[in-house]
Structure 1
Amino acid sequence: MKLRCIAVDDEKFALDLLADNISQIPYLELIATCKNALEAAVVLRREKIDLLFIDIQMPGLSGLQFVRSLLPKPLIIFITAYENFALDAFNADAIDYLVKPVTSERFLQATNKALLFSSYHNPINIHREADFIFVNVEYNIVKIVLSEVLYIEGAKDYIKIQLQQNRTMLTKVTMKSMEELLPAAKFIRIHRSYIVNIAAIEVIKKDSIMLTGNRIELPVSDGYKGNISYLTGR
């Protein structure tokens, strides 16, 4: 599955950079680039668009005004040089708000969120249960199949994704961002530094859990014991 998207920005350099970022994401298909909202409106009437990347401050109709006028709306990600429009953007049903300059990690985080939103809201989407995500690993964008993940460990600015068969991947993203990407029905936070695949849990102890396979034991901190209680119904 690919998300069909358009990019809208009145600055050519910013538009070219956005198009290049989109081209590097395997699940995005760039249908058109537009210099203003009116050009974007023409494309939206002509094409089925899943995701709209749009600037806010543009001549004529602003990005916010344009998005508010859309019914129905595609998924919306605002990309702007201004921080002070974030509340207005989310009130206009944006799924994310990126402030220029945008790092590749932050861009990937936003597009992963779009993929998940699309998965959950499209009843004919074969990936509706969010069975994979994409992450940056050593300057490559790598697909991670969620059923192969045992646990995720936070380490300063990076996280370690521990997979089956003793495979490990490191990616530069925060634990909070990763937790938001993962489906809550499949993953649970047990510690400030650990998120685990519920299907991999074999034994639940008072202050730790044991995972299947090579019998990995991970701590459960007091602040997250409520998650375990919810899981066990106790």
Structure 2
Amino acid sequence: MIKCLIIDDEPLAREVLESYVSDLPSLKLIASCKDAVEALDYLNKESVDLIFLDINMPKLSGINFYKSLSKKPKVIFTTAYADHAVEGFELEAVDYLLKPFSFERFIKAVNKVQLGASESQENFIMLKADKKNHKIKFDEITYFESIGDYVKVHLKEEKTLIISETLRKLENLLPSGFIRTHKSFIISLNHLEYFEGNQAKIGEAKIPIGQSYRDKVNEVFRK
């Protein structure tokens, strides 16, 4: 169970988050605060695992509030302004949600928190191919390529697996060292050599960067 705290000065935004949290059994809402000052008072008495934190608030911004915490819970920033994303990543935020965001997008962010909690114990993923369950370490994977109803898993030393899976599901299961660059590709940042134009270079492969993914890629690498 993940104990979470909502901090947002907009009543409607708090209501949306409260509703989303209530729909996920893995989350337990401890409190919902209208500003950072109220939240500070609460955190002096209680501890939480995760904060859904609005960035643009009166008195004290979400960024400055989070910087002020001596003990920092995991944080997912919520904002109406995409240009805040870079600073959020610099603070090692789990994710940022651009308002208005869907329940599906909310779940994706929460999945990153749940995965992160187990990463220290698990550095692998189980993938089914050739009627066998393969234990594949994350650092062995160079990139994923969608091919029709299947996904080709590219591994080190030019090995591959063909699995009956979707990139969308895989994206929610992978740790933060992976990023989707195209509707048909997810790449490992550990194996990335460089970006050039609209392509990412991994080994001999040149992976396309789709137009709808370009801004996210640029934000992650602070270009």
Structure 1 CA distance for aligned equivalents of residues 14 and 71 of structure 2: 24
Aligned residues: 160
CA deviations on 1:82-116 (whole Å, 9 max, x unpaired) are: 10111111112211111011112211111010112
Number of the residue aligned with 1:116: 115
* Distance change >3 Å, CA 169–CA 43, structure 1 → 2: farther
Matched, 1:42 2:41: yes
Structure 1 CA distance for aligned equivalents of residues 29 and 150 of structure 2: 30
* Distance change >3 Å, CA 155–CA 69, structure 1 → 2: farther
* Distance change >3 Å, CA 72–CA 182, structure 1 → 2: closer
* Distance change >3 Å, CA 43–CA 111, structure 1 → 2: same
CA contact (8 A) 1:116 1:130 kept: no
Number of the residue aligned with 1:231: none
CA deviations on 1:134-190 (whole Å, 9 max, x unpaired) are: xxxxxxxxxxxx75x62699588x999xxxxxxx998x9375x24634999xxxxxx
Structure 2 CA distance for aligned equivalents of residues 16 and 27 of structure 1: 19
CA contact (8 A) 1:7 1:32 kept: yes
* Distance change >3 Å, CA 120–CA 71, structure 1 → 2: farther
Structure 2 CA distance for aligned equivalents of residues 182 and 93 of structure 1: 11
CA contact (8 A) 1:7 1:34 kept: yes
* Distance change >3 Å, CA 116–CA 58, structure 1 → 2: same
Number of the residue aligned with 2:74: 75
Structure 1 CA distance for aligned equivalents of residues 147 and 46 of structure 2: 43
CA contact (8 A) 1:8 1:33 kept: yes
CA contact (8 A) 1:78 1:94 kept: yes
* Distance change >3 Å, CA 103–CA 159, structure 1 → 2: farther
Structure 1 CA distance for aligned equivalents of residues 123 and 48 of structure 2: 20
Could you tell me how far 1:223 is from its partner in structure 2? 4.2
Gaps of 5+ in 1: 122-127, 132-145, 161-167, 185-191, 195-221, 225-234
Structure 2 CA distance for aligned equivalents of residues 28 and 179 of structure 1: 18
Could you tell me how far 1:59 is from its partner in structure 2? 0.9
Secondary structure of the residue aligned to 1:78 is strand
Number of the residue aligned with 1:198: none
Structure 1 CA distance for aligned equivalents of residues 101 and 150 of structure 2: 20
**In the TM superposition, what are the counterparts of 1:22-101 in structure 2 within 5 Å?**
22-101=21-100
**In the TM superposition, what are the counterparts of 1:137-176 in structure 2 within 5 Å?**
150=128, 154=146, 173=168
* Distance change >3 Å, CA 159–CA 49, structure 1 → 2: farther
Could you tell me how far 1:45 is from its partner in structure 2? 1.8
Secondary structure of the residue aligned to 2:58 is coil
Number of the residue aligned with 1:129: 122
Could you tell me how far 1:8 is from its partner in structure 2? 0.6
* Distance change >3 Å, CA 98–CA 193, structure 1 → 2: closer
CA contact (8 A) 1:8 1:37 kept: yes
Number of the residue aligned with 1:8: 7
RMSD: 3.5
Could you tell me how far 1:118 is from its partner in structure 2? 2.2
Percent identity over paired residues: 36
Could you tell me how far 1:46 is from its partner in structure 2? 1.6
| Residue type at the aligned position of 1:77 | I
CA contact (8 A) 2:79 2:97 kept: yes
Secondary structure of the residue aligned to 1:73 is coil
CA contact (8 A) 1:159 1:173 kept: no
